[in-house]
Amino acid sequence: MNAAAETFAISDATREFLAREHQLFIDGKWQPASSGETFAIIDPATEAQISTIQLANEADVDKAVQAAQRAFTGEWSKLTSYQRTRMMLRLADLIDENIQTLAELEVLDNGVPMMLAQYTIAGYGAEFMRYYAGWATKIHGDTIPVSPAGVRNGESLTYTRREPIGVVGAIIPWNAPIAMFILKLAPALATGCTLVLKPAELTPLTALKMCELIKEAGIPDGVVNVIPGLGQVAGEAMTKHPGIKKIAFTGSTAVGKHIVENAVADLKKVTLELGGKSPVVVFPDADLQQVIPGCVRAAYFLQGQNCMAGTRLFVHEKVFDEVINGIAAVANSMKLGPGLDPSSQLGPLISAQQRERVMAYIQSGIDEGATLVCGGKAREGKGFFVEPTLFTHTDQNLRIAREEIFGPVLFAMPFGDDDLEKVAALANDSIYGLSGSVWTRDISTGLKMAALIDSGQVSVNCHAAVDPAIPFGGNKMSGWGREFGAEGLEPYLKTKATTVLLSPPPF
Ligand code: NAD
Residue 156 has pLDDT above 90, yes or no: no
Segments in 334-478 forming alpha helices (H): 352-367, 399-402, 420-427, 443-452
- CA 249 to CA 198: how far, in whole Å? 10
DSSP 417: -
CA of 209 to the centre of ligand 1 (A): 21
Task: Determine whether the shortest distance from the Cβ of 43 to ligand 1 is under 6 A.
Answer: no
Find the 234 Cα to ligand 1 centroid distance in Å: 13
- Residue 173 to residue 180: CA distance in whole angstroms: 7
pLDDT at 316 over 60: yes
The CB of 171 under 6 Å from ligand 1? The reply is: yes
Q: How much is the pLDDT for 4?
A: 52
Query: 306 or 501: which carries more pLDDT confidence?
Result: 306
Taking residues 3-28, report their average pLDDT: 88
- Check pocket membership of 485 for ligand 1, CB cut-off 6 A: no
Query: How would you label 258-290 residue by residue, b for 16+ Cβ within 10 Å and e otherwise?
Result: bbbebbeeeebbbbbbbbbbbbbbbbbebebee
DSSP H or E stretch at residue 328? helix 320-333
Protein residue closest via CA to atom 36 of ligand 1: 251
- By most ligand atoms within 8 Å of CB, the mutation choice from 236, 307, 358 for ligand 1 is 307
Half-sphere exposure of 425 (CA within 13 A, CB side): 8
pLDDT digits (tens, 9 = 90+) for 97-120: 999 999 999 999 999 999 999 999
Q: What pLDDT digit, counting tens, does each position of 223-246 carry? A: 999 999 999 999 999 999 999 999
Residue 439's DSSP bridge partners are: 282
Among residues 244, 243, 231, 236, which one has the least CA distance to residue 261? 236
Decide: 443 and 272 in contact? Cβ < 8 Å: no
User: Is the CB of 371 within 6 Å of ligand 1?
Assistant: no
d(CA 393, CA 395): 6
Mean pLDDT score of the chain: 96
Atom of ligand 1 nearest to the CA of 478: 41
pLDDT band at 183; cut points 50, 70, 90: very high
pLDDT beyond 80 at 506: no
Read off the pLDDT of residues 42-65 as tens digits, 9 standing for 90 and up.
999 999 999 999 999 999 999 999
Q: Is the distance from the beta carbon of residue 483 to the nearest atom of ligand 1 less than 6 Å?
A: no
pLDDT at 349: 98
Provide the whole-model pTM: 0.97
Mean pLDDT for 169-189 is 98
Mean pLDDT of all residues in 480-501: 96
Give the Cβ contact number of residue 336 at 10 Å. 19
Residues in a beta bridge with 149? none
Report which ligand 1 atom has the smallest distance to the Cα of 474: 41
Q: Ligand 1 center to residue 174 CA distance, Å?
A: 8
Q: Is the CB of 351 under 6 A from ligand 1?
A: no
Atom of ligand 1 nearest to the CA of 251: 30
pLDDT of residue 123: 82
pLDDT tens figures, 254-282: 999 999 999 999 999 999 999 999 999 99
How does residue 502 score in pLDDT terms, banded at 50, 70 and 90? confident
Question: Nearest C-alpha to atom 21 of ligand 1 is from which residue?
Answer: 235
So what's the pLDDT on residue 137?
98
Confidence category of residue 482, pLDDT binned at 50, 70, 90? very high
Please state the rounded mean pLDDT for residues 11-19.
97
CB 214 within 8 A of CB 236: no
Kindly give the distance from the C-alpha atom of residue 333 to the centroid of ligand 1, in angstroms, as a whole number. 31
Q: In this predicted structure, what is the pLDDT of residue 282? A: 98
**Residue 198 predicted with pLDDT over 80:** yes
pLDDT beyond 90 at 147: no
CA 273 to ligand 1: nearest atom: 41
Q: How confident is the model at residue 151 (pLDDT cuts 50, 70, 90)?
A: low
Residue 130: the pLDDT is 98
Atom in ligand 1 nearest the alpha carbon of residue 236? 19
Q: What is the tens place of the pLDDT at every residue in 337-378? A: 999 999 999 999 999 999 999 999 999 999 999 999 999 999
pLDDT above 60 for 208:
yes
- Banded pLDDT at 152 (limits 50, 70, 90): low
Decide whether any atom of ligand 1 lies within 6 Å of the 200 Cβ: yes
Q: Which pLDDT band holds residue 121 (cuts at 50, 70, 90)?
A: very high
Question: In angstroms, what CA-CA distances link 387 with 28, 236, 378, 445?
Answer: 43, 35, 6, 34
Q: Does the pLDDT at position 2 exceed 70?
A: no
Q: How far is the CA of 176 from the centre of ligand 1 (A)?
A: 11
353 Cβ closer than 6 Å to some ligand 1 atom:
no
Q: Which active-site residues does the annotation give?
A: 273, 307
